[in-house]
Structure 1
């Protein structure tokens, strides 16, 4: 986490805390040491953020502190709310928590007259039931960010299982399912894998032997070619 993001997170932790909170608790939530929290809080105080601290008690953000207002229109707010609701109902717990934190941050810096758009939005997303998965979405996203291979046992439409090693590129979210776009070492090509059809899976420490930006660009070109072939088939070919 970048330091600027961490400073913002500390303010949000203090804002939502009902009482003094220790540097150890803040550090545990952010995944940093107490010493780092001490330095960050000192930096915030130097910037004029009214934080009071007492040894053995913890830190408190003085009432009345407000971040600069974020200028959003009602439509923009409801677009964010709709996206957050979608993630809450269709994303894994890690993304759902991140969505809740995002809403709290935006609500804190939005103009007062628009805050009811967060509390009482005019849009909503219907809940769904997602199928059980062997490998969680958070692990897949982590493998993509770290550029790591995934080994899995995958069942096709007929139920036949094969063991694959894939290079994950993108995790796609549908209403009730998730799909991994990846390079498949077995098939030597780009393939899609429905997560509910994965019978076994493990993220490997083996690194993907390609730069992710180049691999993704190659995948996008391959998908564009496939779409063009499909469209040509529907229209009878480009020359007709």
Structure 2
């Protein structure tokens, strides 16, 4: 959880006029008591009226409210379009999170702007990505974050099947097709796998560490080198006698 999100959650937990201990907050937010002490001190220094002390507990004085979020018309349209795009093309967990995010944003928008969310007429078809692919997207996204080595059964464009151990590094959406980029242990190189060609995924709990030459930044550098090489070859062919 980002620190900004944690500070917001602390304020929400302190609402209601009851005493809340740092240990209770630490358990809910899965951080240490010391982290909560620092966060409370930072909130108090910015003017949030939190009373209490370490070892006793904290309470938020009545009458405090967070200022309403202010977004421009174009920002609201972008947020709505992005959430609906994730709902249409993302995994089930992503879709739920996008919907919940819109609800939270709507709850803190001024009345004059809240209606703009419903008036944003940008929509996406919901049948492009299959339900099986959606579940795969969520599985891969979590594996990328947790750095889990995955064993996948994959079939290539010609229909040939292979079993690969990959280090998933990132997901890309190409309009109708999702791919996962990863380091392929079988090929000893980066590979991009179409999600709709992955027959099965197995995770045995192995965790990989980032190694030089096998990270996403290295993949980008390789792409840049390949692109430069193609440009050079094209210019050379154009200038050939």
Same fold, judged at TM 0.5 (above)? yes
Q: Deviations over 1:209-236 (max 9, x none)?
A: 4259971111110111222233344444
Q: Kindly indicate whether the alpha-carbon contact (under 8 Å) linking 1:147 and 1:212 is maintained by their aligned counterparts in 2.
A: no
What is the distance in 2 between the residues matched to 1:212 and 1:121?
A: 45
Q: Which moved more, 1:66-75 or 1:212-221?
A: 212-221
- Map 1:189-204 onto structure 2 (within 5 A): 189-204=189-204
Q: Kindly indicate whether the alpha-carbon contact (under 8 Å) linking 2:90 and 2:134 is maintained by their aligned counterparts in 1.
A: no
Q: Mark the runs of 5 or more structure 2 residues left unpaired by the alignment.
A: 16-24, 51-61
- Map 1:113-124 onto structure 2 (within 5 A): 113-124=112-123
Give the aligned partner of residue 21 of structure 2.
none
Normalising by the residue count of structure 2, what TM-score does the alignment of the two structures yield? 0.71
**Residues 75, 163 of structure 1: alpha-carbon distance in 2 compared, 3 angstrom cutoff:** same
Q: Report the alpha carbon displacement of residue 123 of structure 1 after superposing the two structures with TM.
A: 2.8
Q: Mark the runs of 5 or more structure 1 residues left unpaired by the alignment.
A: 16-26, 50-61
Q: Report the alpha carbon displacement of residue 104 of structure 1 after superposing the two structures with TM.
A: 1.7
Q: Does 1:102 align with 2:107?
A: no
What is the distance in 2 between the residues matched to 1:115 and 1:65?
A: 22
Give the aligned partner of residue 137 of structure 2.
137
**Residues 236, 80 of structure 1: alpha-carbon distance in 2 compared, 3 angstrom cutoff:** farther
**Count of aligned positions:** 220
Q: Report the alpha carbon displacement of residue 69 of structure 1 after superposing the two structures with TM.
A: 1.9
What is the distance in 2 between the residues matched to 1:136 and 1:65?
A: 43
**Residues 74, 152 of structure 1: alpha-carbon distance in 2 compared, 3 angstrom cutoff:** same
Q: Which moved more, 1:154-163 or 1:170-179?
A: 170-179
Q: Report the alpha carbon displacement of residue 206 of structure 1 after superposing the two structures with TM.
A: 1.8
Give the aligned partner of residue 152 of structure 1.
152
Give the aligned partner of residue 92 of structure 2.
93
